Amino acid sequence: MPRDGQTGFCKVRGNVAGQLHTFNYGKSVAATEEVIETEAVYHFSPGYRILSLGNIGCMMACDFCQNWQTSQIRHLASASVKSYSPQDVLAICDEYGIGMISWTYNDPVVWHEFVRDTSRLAQQRGIRTLYKSAFYIEDAPARELIDCIDIFSISLKSMNEEFYRKVTKGELAPVLERIKLVHRSRRHLEISQLLIPERNDAIDDIEKTVRWVLDNLGDEVPLHFVGFHPAYKYVDVERTSVECLLQARDFALSAGIKYCYLGNVYQPEVSDTNCTRCGHTLVSRYGLTSSVAGIDPNGDCSECAHPTPIRFPFGAATPSPVQRNADQPFRHCLPFQWTPDVNSVHLTVDGDSDPYSNESVDVEVRHVGTTRVENFRVGGGLQRVIVSKAGDGDRKILVTWDGIPQLRILPVLDRAHFPVGSSIDKPFLTSHP
């Protein structure tokens, strides 16, 4: 127990008059509609719409943190923090027809009580739950999570104990033990590793990760190698090269991993799921966009009838088209050009300066250079939605809407990134009537 008035390492719990208190129950960044691929989950309902929520603080202190503006309390802006009850979260799912809650961004370990309480309620309502975490957690709370979490996407930062101790301020052994615990539970599990230049991207480091996964989890648990963008205190390096990621993937596949994918790489074919018997493409992917291309109604390969690794391949929910008069033009239009560093954005109506933030609006997104058109409803309880580049021909998006005179576009620097709109994230764009 810390002394009276003292807080713990995460800065979200402390001693108040001799009792241990949690200060972050229900405190989250803005609720965001994303897709399941955002969380490095490829073998469960490709394209599924999820409700992503992230807390504040973290049980680690990585100097390369991709979400340091919310994970490191001393850098947190109060405007980024919203308050939700478990019932609020379920109400958003009901209102927007979202069937899965994802606990993500900073790390859900630090608001365990809220995650547990909300997930138990979600389970009773038939809403699935996803847990994206570095999983530096004790055994007892990990077992509580196994009882109420459907999908675990765990970030294994390195197989080097010194890396964990010096860079993350955590320990490797407990992470490995909890991963094995989840695997034994038969809950859906996928592993990802951020490849950080000059830190853990050498072939020896990659080999240690691949060997551990094969020896402890087998050859069918998906392994994701994810590209890094310079952030927080580790900025004097370049982004992870595509060549490095491809080399890691090639090594993993040649070593015996059946399913290895690349994150934050917007190229065709590098993250497809192929049939291990005949090589037929089961699911094609480009960045965060996926298409179930070769699975029959029984869930088998449509070419050779071999069972596929994809659970609920046809479970993805598609937003309903915006119902409006085709002859009536949209009142507002905001373009955004994709760049080599920005292939996804958050569309948002949040912010203290927006007097319409409690209203919802129908939004149409046209991907220029393709035939792709997406329709969303954003506002009210759901304050953000992710939009991603859909293919090599996708040059830019045109965001059009009626009603709310202000909609913002925040560049997303990687799929796990929650932009807060500061100059570090690049300035947001604002449309005016």
CA atoms of 235 and 255, how far apart (whole Å): 32
**b/e string for 360-370 if b means 16 or more Cβ within 10 A?**
bbbbbbbbebe
- 321-368: pLDDT as tens digits: 445 555 566 678 999 999 999 999 999 985 544 444 567 888 999 999
At residue 225 the predicted structure's pLDDT band, cuts being 50, 70 and 90, is very high
Q: Which of 115, 9, 24, 131 is nearest to 59 (CA)?
A: 9
CA atoms of 352 and 358, how far apart (whole Å): 11
Distance of CA 247 to the CA centre of its chain: 24
- 39-97: pLDDT as tens digits: 999 999 999 999 999 987 777 777 877 776 675 655 556 666 788 999 999 999 999 99
Q: Which 8-state DSSP code applies to residue 43?
A: S
Contacts of 58 (CB under 8 A, 6+ apart): 10, 65, 71, 72, 106, 107, 110
- Predicted confidence at residue 358, as pLDDT, reads 61
Q: Which of 113, 19, 16, 13 is nearest to 58 (CA)?
A: 13
What single letter denotes the amino acid at residue 335?
P
- Predicted confidence at residue 359, as pLDDT, reads 75
Q: Which of 3, 11, 424 is nearest to 233 (CA)?
A: 424
Number of H helices, E strands in the chain: 8, 23
Fold of 29-52+85-292: TIM Barrel (3.20.20)
Q: How many CA atoms lie within 13 A of 115 on its CB side?
A: 28
CA atoms of 53 and 28, how far apart (whole Å): 6
At residue 423 the predicted structure's pLDDT band, cuts being 50, 70 and 90, is very low
- Predicted confidence at residue 11, as pLDDT, reads 60
Evaluate whether 65 touches 71 at the Cβ level (below 8 Å). Answer: yes
- DSSP character string of 334-359: EEEE--SS--EEEEE--STT-TTTTS
- Predicted confidence at residue 430, as pLDDT, reads 34
Write down the residue that tokens 């909890």 correspond to. 178
- 384-408: pLDDT as tens digits: 999 999 999 999 999 998 876 678 8
Give yes or no for residue 373 having a pLDDT over 60.
yes
- In angstroms and rounded to an integer, the radius of gyration of the C-alpha atoms of the chain is 21
